[in-house]
Amino acid sequence: MRSRILMLLGAAVFFMTFSTSAMAGDLDGFKGEKGEIKIAGGTAHIPVMKEAAQRIMGVSPDVQISIAGGGSGVGIKQAGEGLVDIGNSGKKPSEDEVARYGLHLFQWAIDGVAIIVNPANKVRALSQQQVMEIYAGKISNWKEVGGVDKQINLYTRDEASGTREVFWNQALKKGEIAANANFSVSNGAMKAAISQDPFAIGYVSVGHIDESVAAVAFDGVVPSRETVKEGKYAIARGLYSCTKGAPAGLTKKFIDYLFTAEGQQIVVDQGFITVK
């Protein structure tokens, strides 16, 4: 009887140690680490960065990871200037930028840029031509694309945004964006704004789409993780983290963590596509 209980206990202890070590395996390297990582830039990256940072800070209380937005342009510049340790970018930095700052790039996810509207809006499909005309201000009422008789409220992002650059290059073919467009400062802000404005149109990272907004089919393809992954959805891009020179110490550990099984699981959980 007693030996059986002992055996059970032993098994339980064994199981528990085994399972925790398996779970925390990818985080082991951070135990006992000290120091600070400053992250800024791409706002599509923020949910993944936040989750990774929380897990790391959870196992090692002496590590501080700060996450700021600003947009991809800001991420590239601030990493290049040495103001932050990791600069995120939702577009590939130009050859010139890589050479000028000595940047090292790490692409840890694939993402798409989707056109979104308020869920109350019945319009669920637009052609590229229609999107271009809407953003140029030539189509200014929803009834012209099959919706209600209401003015279209445009939302866009600032020049520093990688999402804007990708959208502008691929969906608008570098076409005009009307001057009356409202500005949002991040993917999160864009989503929040569209979810509150019933007659809005905007564009956001595919990973950020949830039930508070509705994705619009672009040239007949609904943007989703699957369609981006299969290459059917045209507006796709990589998510990059950049460092000035080769990363070292804690920064290197952080970037390595993004490529571990656990790191890539976070990428999937937050709605992006893994690179592995």
Partner 1 sequence: MGRLVERIIVLFSWLSGAILLSVICAVTGYLCFKGLKTIGPALIFGSTDPMSALLLRQRVFDGLFPAMAGTLLLVLMSVGWAIPLGTAAGIYLAEYAGVKTKKIFDLLFDLLAGLPSIVIGLFGFSLTLFLNRHVSKELHPCLLLSSIALAFLILPYIIRTTQIALENLPMHNRLTGLAMGATRMQNLVHVLLPQALAGMVSGILLAIGRCAEDTAVIMLTGVVASAGVPRSVLSHYEALPFYIFYISSQYANQQELATGYGAAILLLFICLLLFGLAFVIKKNLPCQVFSQR
Partner 2 sequence: MTATCERAVERLFFAAAFVSAFVTLFIFGFMVYYGLPLFSGGRFLAILTSHWAPHQGSFGIYPMIVGTLAISLLAMVFAFPLSMGCAILISVVSRGRLSRILRKVVEVMTGIPTVVYGFVGIFLLIPLVRNVFDAGSGMCVLSASLMLAVLVSPTMILFFCDSFDRVPRSYGHAVLALGGTRIQHFLHVTLPCAWPGIIVAVTMALGRAVGDTLIALMLAGNAVQAPDSVFDSARTLTSHIALVFAADNESLEFKAIFACGVSLYLFTTILVLMIRLAARARGKVGQVG
Q: Which residues bind partner 2 (CB under 8 A)?
A: 70-71, 73-74, 77-78, 81, 151, 153, 155, 158-160, 179-183, 185, 193, 196-197, 199-200
| Cα–Cα distance for residue pair 176/198, rounded to 1 Å | 24
Task: Output 26 or 165, the one with its CB closest to partner 2.
Answer: 165
Q: Please report how close the Cβ of residue 151 comes to partner 2 at its closest, in angstroms.
A: 6
Task: Output 56 or 242, the one with its CB closest to partner 2.
Answer: 242
| Cα–Cα distance for residue pair 33/171, rounded to 1 Å | 44
Please check whether residue 266 is in contact with residue 109, taking contact to mean a CB–CB distance below 8 angstroms.
no
Among partner 2, partner 1, none, partner that 64 touches (CB below 5 to 8 angstroms by kind): partner 1
- Token digits of residue 192: 């929040």
Percentages of the chain per state (helix, strand, coil), in multiples of 5:
45, 25, 30
Q: Which uninterrupted H or E stretch holds 42?
A: none
Secondary structure class of 130 (helix, strand, coil): helix
| Cα–Cα distance for residue pair 172/164, rounded to 1 Å | 10
The 10 Å Cβ neighbour count of residue 211 is 7
Among partner 2, partner 1, none, partner that 36 touches (CB below 5 to 8 angstroms by kind): partner 1
| Cα–Cα distance for residue pair 207/272, rounded to 1 Å | 5
269 binds partner 1 (CB under 8 A): no
- Token digits of residue 75: 């991420």
Among partner 1, partner 2, none, partner that 199 touches (CB below 5 to 8 angstroms by kind): partner 2
Q: Please report how close the Cβ of residue 48 comes to partner 2 at its closest, in angstroms.
A: 21
| Cα–Cα distance for residue pair 124/120, rounded to 1 Å | 11
- 105-124: contacts with partner 1 (CB under 8 A): none
| Cα–Cα distance for residue pair 255/272, rounded to 1 Å | 17
89 binds partner 1 (CB under 8 A): no
Secondary structure class of 111 (helix, strand, coil): strand
Task: Output 8 or 148, the one with its CB closest to partner 2.
Answer: 148
Using the rule CB under 8 A, give the single segment among 44-52, 105-113, 129-137, 142-150 that binds partner 1: 44-52
Among partner 1, partner 2, none, partner that 77 touches (CB below 5 to 8 angstroms by kind): partner 2
Q: Please report how close the Cβ of residue 60 comes to partner 1 at its closest, in angstroms.
A: 10
Instruction: Build a one-symbol-per-residue string for 183-212: x at contacts with partner 1 by CB under 8 A, - elsewhere.
Output: -xxx-xx-xxx----------------x-x
68 binds partner 1 (CB under 8 A): yes
Q: Which residues bind partner 1 (CB under 8 A)?
A: 36, 38, 40, 46-47, 50, 53-54, 57-58, 61-62, 64-69, 81-84, 184-186, 188-189, 191-193, 210, 212
